[in-house]
Amino acid sequence: MPTNRDLDRRGLLKVTGGSLAALGLTAAGCGGGSGSGDGPVTLRYAWWGGEPRTIAIKKTIALFEKKYPKIKIKPEFTDYESFWEKFQTQASGGNPPDVFQNSVAFLRKYDKRGVLMDLKSQADAGNLNLKNFRNGVLTAGQVEDKQLGVPVGANTMSLVVDLKVFKKAGIAPKMGWTWDDYFDALQKIQDTQKIAGDTGYFSIMYLYDLYLRQNGKAFFTDTELGFTEADLTQWWNDGYKRVKSGLVADPKKIEQVKPKSGLSAGLAASEFTWDNFSIRYEGEGESDYGLAPIPTTDGKDTGQYLGSLMLSAFTGTKHPKEVAQFIDFMVHDPEVGKIMGYDRGILATTEQYDAYKPADANNKGVAAYEDEVSAAGVLGKITPHPSGADVIEAAFLRIGGEVAQGKNKPAAAAKQFFGEAKAAFAG
* Contact present, 175 and 23 (Cβ < 8 Å): yes
Strand stretches in 316-371, DSSP E: 346-347
E strand or H helix that includes residue 337: helix 334-340
| Same domain as 187, residue 279 | yes
Q: With respect to residue 2, please indicate whether it lies within any of the assigned structural domains.
A: no
Q: Please identify, among 315, 337, 356, the residue that sits at the C-terminal boundary of a domain.
A: 356
> Which sign, positive or negative, has the C-alpha torsion 7, 8, 9, 11?
positive
What CATH number did the domain enclosing 113 receive?
3.40.190.10
Decide: helix, strand or coil at residue 26. Answer: coil
| Same domain as 140, residue 59 | yes
* 285-341 per-position pLDDT tens digit: 899 999 999 999 999 999 999 999 999 999 999 999 999 999 999 999 999 999 999
Decide: helix, strand or coil at residue 225. Answer: strand
Q: Please identify, among 317, 340, 356, the residue that sits at the C-terminal boundary of a domain.
A: 356
Q: What is the pLDDT of residue 279?
A: 80
Per-residue b/e over 311-335, b at no fewer than 16 CB within 10 Å? bbbbbbbbbbebbbbbbbbbbbbee
Q: Hey, which residues does 150 pair with through a beta bridge? A: 311
| Same domain as 279, residue 162 | yes
Q: With respect to residue 34, please indicate whether it lies within any of the assigned structural domains.
A: no
pLDDT at 30 over 70: no
| Same domain as 206, residue 352 | no
| Same domain as 321, residue 283 | no
E strand or H helix that includes residue 120: helix 120-124
pLDDT at 265 over 50: yes
How many structural domains are present in the chain? 2
Mean pLDDT across the chain? 90
Decide: helix, strand or coil at residue 3. Answer: coil
Q: What domain range includes position 311? A: 41-155+307-356
The fraction of the chain above a pLDDT of 90, given in percent, is: 80
pTM of the predicted protein model:
0.84
Strand stretches in 294-415, DSSP E: 309-313, 346-347
User: DSSP of 32-96, one letter per residue?
Assistant: -----TTS-EEEEEEEE--HHHHHHHHHHHHHHHHH-TTEEEEEEEE-HHHHHHHHHHHHHTT--
Q: Is 170 exposed, middle or buried (0-12, 13-18, 19+ CB in 10 A)?
A: middle
Q: With respect to residue 312, please indicate whether it lies within any of the assigned structural domains.
A: yes
* 198-210 per-position pLDDT tens digit: 999 999 999 999 9
| Same domain as 209, residue 64 | no
Decide: helix, strand or coil at residue 320. Answer: helix
* 208-262 per-position pLDDT tens digit: 999 999 999 999 998 899 999 999 999 999 999 999 999 999 999 999 998 889 9
pLDDT at 418 over 60: yes
Q: Is 89 exposed, middle or buried (0-12, 13-18, 19+ CB in 10 A)?
A: exposed
Confidence grade of residue 384 (pLDDT, cut at 50, 70, 90) = confident
- Per the model's pLDDT, the better-predicted residue between 39 and 339 turns out to be 339
Q: With respect to residue 390, please indicate whether it lies within any of the assigned structural domains.
A: yes
Q: What is the pLDDT of residue 14?
A: 52
